[in-house]
Amino acid sequence: MAVPSLEELLERVKASSEKGNLCSQIVVDVGLDHLGERKPDVVKAAGGLAGAQGFVEVTCGALTAAGVLIASAAVDRMERDQMYMLIQELEERFNQDIASSYSGNRCGDFLDADPNKLPTEVCPPIIAGATKIALELLEENGIHG
């Protein structure tokens, strides 16, 4: 199955958010769902990566969760070194495609860009973008839904 469009991913992001998931959990939830995998413990654990939970000066939770998505999907399907290269490419593409429009790739960089916007306005496109990049990288390496 092809990687969903950003518009479709935004709808899935919204639906996952309505289940009470945080940014990092949404990436893992939406990504694993697309791949046809159910790993509720991984989704729950990804909540520890959510930047808005007090870690706003650290790397964006959507980016770190996209790394978790890649690792979770690839763990028994490719060599560890190849998986790490995918995660490195994820960071490079995230920084180029998403974070380059901001002052960095930290949660606070996104949230502080427009102090008049709530995280629920700022973060969904970032979450969808990180998910899309991770799914594209997985698909390019033979892991798809």
In the prediction, which pLDDT does 57 show?
A: 74
Paired with 59 in beta bridges are 106
The answer to the question of residue 17 being in a domain is yes
The answer to the question of residue 59 being in a domain is yes
Domain hosting 35: range is 8-140
The pTM for the full model equals 0.95
| Mean pLDDT per 10-residue segment, the chain (145 residues) | 96 98 97 97 92 71 96 95 97 98 93 91 97 98 91
Looking at the 3D structure of the chain, how many domains does it have?
1
In the prediction, which pLDDT does 12 show?
A: 99
Beta carbons within 8 Å of 16's beta carbon, 6+ residues apart: 25, 26, 29, 30
The answer to the question of residue 145 being in a domain is no
In the prediction, which pLDDT does 51 show?
A: 66
Q: Are 131 and 4 in contact (CB under 8 A)?
A: no
